[in-house]
Structure 1
Amino acid sequence: MEEKKNLDDLLDGLGIHEEEAPPAPVLEEKGAEETASAPQSPSEVVEHFLVGLLLYLDPSYSLDLRQEGERIHVEILGGDGGRIIGREGRTLKALETITNAVVAKHFGSSYRVNLDAAGYRKRQEDRARKRALEAADVVAATGEPLELPPMRPAERRIIHMTLKDHPHVTTHSVGQGEERHVVVLPRTDEVTGEEPAADEGEAPTEA
């Protein structure tokens, strides 16, 4: 159900009717005779799937893809970056989720695709780090806790990681759902920073 919702979000964000969507890559069954055109590695599956989709949208899009162990980093370049990113990054997030589902279907869930477009995720990470350091300066100067606005899991994780070893402040998250946010507060012997867990679908560039 969640995968179906993400697919619907992706198609809506890209302005594609579901019946027009390009098909996911079909791999050969194990033991079948290999063909030169069939993708047989996780990175090839990612490239095959995304190139097919992007060519359908606009031939001016291109991919910069690299694999580091079980991490596959993909940057979508050219074309209309805003169309791929979507409002508040929702289309990019949906595309990343669907791409991960395609890879997991054939190779299991150990592989992780980190998708970015036009440097969007990198800019988000840089802004989160800057906000973390600015908040730390305020808390260190005033001695009072500071609540940051609600953020996505990946951005909260960046705040936690940026301030994890700060000598004067620590962090923890409060709230539920879309209202969940980070509180930066003075470091004491009784308070320790929240150890951030990897958030589903997103992590720093990871991005």
Structure 2
Amino acid sequence: MDNSTLRDQAITILAELLQRLDIAAQIQPSEDDDSKIDIKSDEAGRLIGRKGQYLESLELVMNRILRRQFADEPSTPWIVLDVDGYCVPKPSRDDNGEGRRRRGGFDVDRFETMALDAAKEVKRWGAPRTLGPYRPGERRIIHLTLRNDPEVETISESEADANGCKRITIRKKQS
């Protein structure tokens, strides 16, 4: 299966989800990335939500449905949604205007760096390190950053706080 087939199926799923939410939008594949879908809508605020929470949830639901449909595929890539350029890197003072990778209002590079630094501490000292509390998308970045590390594992708390945030613990893998 190639990415364009997967992306076309994701567009079909997304169109049905938006229809059920009664949101009018134009959905099209991204020109520069096979694993990205661009959405244009007059109701962008409803799709994005506060700090990107609705967009993050919509992306998660769409990808879960996609994974169920392609369950026999060993590695189905994650399809990213962007509403009216919300996820496009925005220049800031500290990056010489190049822009940082952002998802849902948070800085992906910052969470990856934080995860790697915490893992380095855990490997060095042996003591578990707890981070957070973080929203689901933020925790996902940490989990994905460290998932292939043979020495550490990540665990999210079972209980979320009132805002849906959980702490994440990084510890040495149990033998």
Instruction: Give the TM-score, by structure 1 length.
Output: 0.43
The structure having more radius of gyration, on CA atoms, is 1
Instruction: Give the TM-score, by structure 2 length.
Output: 0.49
